[in-house]
Amino acid sequence: MKALYKKELRAFLSSIIGTVVLAVFLMVSGLFHWVFPGQWNLLNAGVAEMSGFFLFTPWIFLFLIPAITMRSIAEERKNGTLELLLTHPLNAYRIVWSKFLAGTTLVALALLPTLFGYGVLHILGNPPGNIDGGSVIAGYFGLILLGAAFVATGLLTSSRTDSQVVAFLSSALVCMIVYYGPSALGSYALFGSADIAVQWFAMETHFRSIGTGIIVVSDAAWFAAYITIALALAQRNIQPGRA
C-alpha cells in the first residue's frame, strides 16, 4: 500500500497534468484573493481575516480535484493495469485507499503555498498579528476535509468508467450536487420544518460550520462517514469480476 501511495504521488507530481492543476489552482486563487477587486479580495475586506479565501476555494476545488482523480482508476481500467494490480498482493481496499491518500496529499500540497496569504495578513493587521489564528486553522482543516471528500467522490466516479473525460465531468457534477444541492434545495422552503434536515445533507453546511472557527465533532464525523461510504463503493466497483 505504501509503495502504491508513493507511485501515485510521484506519477501526479511528475506529470504535465499535475503541474498544470497545481499552477491553475494557485493562479486562480491568487488572482481572486489578491488582484481582482470584489468580495473575495482579502485586501478589500478592511479586516485581517481569510473568510473570503475559505468561501471561494471550494468552488475552485469543484473543478480541479476531479482533474486530479479522473485518471486514478479510469486510466488503470483502460490500460488493463487494474486487473494486474488486483492479481498482486493488493486488494481493492489497499488500491483505493492508497490512491485516496495520494490525492488528499496533493490537495494539502496545493494549499501549502496559500499560507503565504496568512503571513501577509498577519503582518498587515492593525496591530500586526491581529488575526484570528483559530478560525484560520479551522478553515484549513475544513478545506482538507472537503478536499478529501471530493477526492473520494472522484475515485468513485473514476471507478465506474474507463474514460478520463467521463470521469472528470461526472465527478465535477456529483461534487457540485453533494456540496451545494441539498443546501440550495432547502433554501426554497419546500419542505417546511424539514428544510433544515435537507440542508444537513449538504457538504457545504458542514464545511461552513467548521469554517466558523469551531470544529464540531459531528461535522468532522459527517465528512468521515461520506468518505468511507464513497471509498467503499469504489472498492466494490473494482472488485474482481466487476473491474
Q: Which tens digit of pLDDT belongs to each residue from 171-218?
A: 999 999 999 999 888 877 777 778 888 889 999 999 988 877 677 788
For the chain, the domain total comes to 1
Q: What is the pLDDT of residue 39?
A: 82
H or E element that contains 84:
helix 81-87
Domain span including residue 158: 2-237
Domain assignment present for residue 228? The answer is yes
Domain assignment present for residue 242? The answer is no
Full-model pTM: 0.92
Domain assignment present for residue 47? The answer is yes
Between these two residues, 2 and 156, which has the higher pLDDT value? 156
Neighbours of 80 (CB within 10 A): 10
Domain assignment present for residue 161? The answer is yes
Domain assignment present for residue 243? The answer is no
Nearest to 150 by CA among 176, 175, 181, 178: 175
Domain assignment present for residue 117? The answer is yes
Domain assignment present for residue 100? The answer is yes
Between these two residues, 65 and 3, which has the higher pLDDT value? 65
| Of 46-55, 99-108, 197-206, 229-238, the least confident | 46-55
pLDDT at 101 over 80: yes
Domain assignment present for residue 139? The answer is yes
pLDDT at 62 over 90: yes
Mean pLDDT calculated for residue range 96-103 = 94
Q: What is the residue-averaged pLDDT of the chain?
A: 87
Q: What is the pLDDT of residue 240?
A: 67
Q: What percent of the chain has pLDDT over 90?
A: 47
Q: What is the pLDDT of residue 242?
A: 55
Per-residue CA distances from 208 to 56, 84, 175 (Å): 11, 42, 16
Q: What is the pLDDT of residue 151?
A: 97
Between these two residues, 21 and 66, which has the higher pLDDT value? 66
